[in-house]
Structure 1
Amino acid sequence: MYYVAPNIPFPLVCDIGPSFEKNRATKTYKIRREGDDDNFKQLYRFSRENVGFLARTFLPNYEETRGEAFQNMQKMKCFLRYVGDPGFQVGVGEDLGLHQTTVCKTVWQTCRAIVEKSHGWIKKYEFPYCIGALDCTHVLIKRPHHFADEFVNRKGLTSFNVQATCNGREMFTSVECRWPGSVHDARIWRNSAIREILSDNNSDAVMLADEAYPIAPWLMTPFKNPSSAEQRSYNIMHTRERVIIERVFGQAKQRFPILQSKIRISTERVPQMVVACFVLHNVAKIMNDEDFTLPEELLQPNYVQFNGGVDDGNSICHRGQRRRDAIAMHIKNQL
């Protein structure tokens, strides 16, 4: 291009750089790969049909159509590949033909979309008839920059201590994922929303918990050092029923291995990642998407003599003990 200056007999050529078209960067796209039917579920933790259902259910209807835009099905597959990898964004990008930054952005957007609809998939108990089980599990995380010591659990590992309840259909009914690994299970329970719901209900509904929790009329724990036939029968029945929460934790961790290795994202984002995985566990149950193989120890209850339990002499504890005695006698009479 050039400009003609006045009173100059010839054009004055002014170089203002190459044209925009010549300098425009050319977009390049990696080859995006699809899983074969033979290994699709192994890669994405759901059948192909159910991954499509997840994309339609949790992700917005709007999809970008310009160029090689990332579609909802691909976004969901990216998230599922990440939680099943477990958790290496660079590796997921190589597998799917994506840049690491695209994987990071897509995983977090999809995670938030799932959590935003979690109320429709993790439903609290419908009293008065539901009986469930309660427990905590540790989810490992990378060492936080702030308050790192609070996240060190009794095994010396950094983690979140996640409390959850489940029902007889092996589905989560509540999740508390905001406590660092050093916090005891009983403290999480005392401050949980599900405890408030149980303590305020006027029904006979109860939940089952292990010896780490204080007994209450709405929370049944094992007998400490059972000394009678009815107490021993109660402990056996209690263990057989309570093991369901261990099974549910195991199923979720088998489907999403990120939960059993280490979640390598910023600490403040870990709770949403955990909740998203628990939501998708419930979806898998509703869709009858087959579970992954569980470790043998989670398939059968382990009957032991419990030495825990809390008896601090207060009225709630005594009421819980009286109710446990009545339940134990009922169980013995049924045998």
Structure 2
Amino acid sequence: MNTILQKANLWIKFPSSIEEIREAQRLGQQVYSFPSAIGDMDCTHVRIPKPSEFGDEYINRKGFASIDVQATCDAQDKFTSVDVQWPGSTHESRIWKRSNICAVLRCNTQRALLLADEGYGIEPCLMTPYQNPNTPEETRYNNLLKKERVCIERCFGQLKQRFSILQYKARLKLENIPKLIVCCVVLHNIAKTLCDPDFDLEELQPNDVNNYIEGNENDDIRRSGMRRREKVLLSILFFNKICKVS
């Protein structure tokens, strides 16, 4: 396990430099309709035995003990980041705000963004659904966002089918479970790079959806995100109109 962990930074890499972000945007435009999108983000739960110490913190909203794993993936179905330090009761919005990738994207000058579900708060670098779509265009935006977020769902599904210990219950010492998860993610990315046919799996694992959105610590971030979402919506509608004309 330790040998694989030593290679984690080589196989799980989130774009951070200007050049890396631009390349991720270029690859993203081959898959995503959202301008400047570099991938998807979501959380999934890995079931564990309830710890004897601070056990209640690990009980998630579905009533079982788990590690709440946040991950991002790119257009090639490879994980670009994974955060495995949070107990199951932690809200995904909190995980995001305290993650390294949040700091990277909030400071990026390339306007890169991730696609996420309604469990996250809207930000200029994070596109989320309209809570109550009022127009056909907003409904269309939500449907497109849901469709293009299938990459992260597929990655989680493949990961858990390949490594069934993540799908059922990881019966290890608590301190070893995050290491196990990271190792599985590394092996997933290696297999995708080598085009392992065993990863061409169709069945997806249902991911947890939480309709409660934790309030942003800075309302300006949320308002800026809403303004950018409107611009993204207009860009999508304009692009689709051009395609129909041509």
Structure-2 separation of matches of 1:117 and 1:296: 27
Maintained 8 Å contact 2:40/2:72: yes
Structure-2 separation of matches of 1:282 and 1:156: 31
Pair 1:324-2:225 in alignment: no
Match of 2:201 in 1: 293
Match of 1:116 in 2: 6
Maintained 8 Å contact 1:208/1:242: yes
Q: How does 1:188-199 map to 2 (within 5 A)?
A: 188-199=95-106
Pair 1:266-2:167 in alignment: no
SS of aligned partner of 1:128: helix
Give how far 1:294 is off: 3.4
In structure 2, what residue type is equivalent to 1:167? Answer: D
Tell me: CA distance 1:217–1:232, structure 2 relative to 1, closer, same or farther (3 Å): same
Match of 2:48 in 1: 141
Structure-2 separation of matches of 1:200 and 1:295: 36
In structure 1, what residue type is equivalent to 2:144? Answer: M
Structure-1 separation of matches of 2:22 and 2:140: 25
Tell me: CA distance 1:268–1:251, structure 2 relative to 1, closer, same or farther (3 Å): same
Give how far 1:156 is off: 1.1
SS of aligned partner of 1:153: coil
Tell me which structure has the larger Cα radius of gyration.
1
The alignment covers a number of residue pairs equal to: 218
SS of aligned partner of 1:136: strand
Gaps of 5+ in 1: 1-110, 299-305
Structure 1: which 4+ aligned runs deviate by more than 4 Å? 306-313
Match of 1:90 in 2: none
Identity of aligned residues (%): 44
Tell me: CA distance 1:168–1:210, structure 2 relative to 1, closer, same or farther (3 Å): same
TM-score, normalising length from structure 2? 0.83
Structure-2 separation of matches of 1:211 and 1:280: 29
Higher strand share goes to which structure?
Answer: 2
Maintained 8 Å contact 2:93/2:213: no
Give how far 1:295 is off: 2.1
Match of 2:71 in 1: 164
Q: How does 1:86-235 map to 2 (within 5 A)?
A: 111-125=1-15, 126-130=20-24, 131-235=38-142
Tell me: CA distance 1:132–1:272, structure 2 relative to 1, closer, same or farther (3 Å): same
In structure 1, what residue type is equivalent to 2:61? Answer: R
Match of 1:239 in 2: 146
Structure-1 separation of matches of 2:51 and 2:212: 32
Structure-2 separation of matches of 1:198 and 1:143: 34
Tell me: CA distance 1:156–1:250, structure 2 relative to 1, closer, same or farther (3 Å): same
Match of 2:33 in 1: none
Structure-2 separation of matches of 1:264 and 1:123: 28
138-147 or 204-213, which deviates more: 138-147
Pair 1:251-2:158 in alignment: yes
Maintained 8 Å contact 2:47/2:65: yes
In structure 2, what residue type is equivalent to 1:295? Answer: E
Maintained 8 Å contact 1:206/1:219: yes
Maintained 8 Å contact 1:230/1:331: no
Maintained 8 Å contact 2:158/2:204: no
TM-score, normalising length from structure 1? 0.62
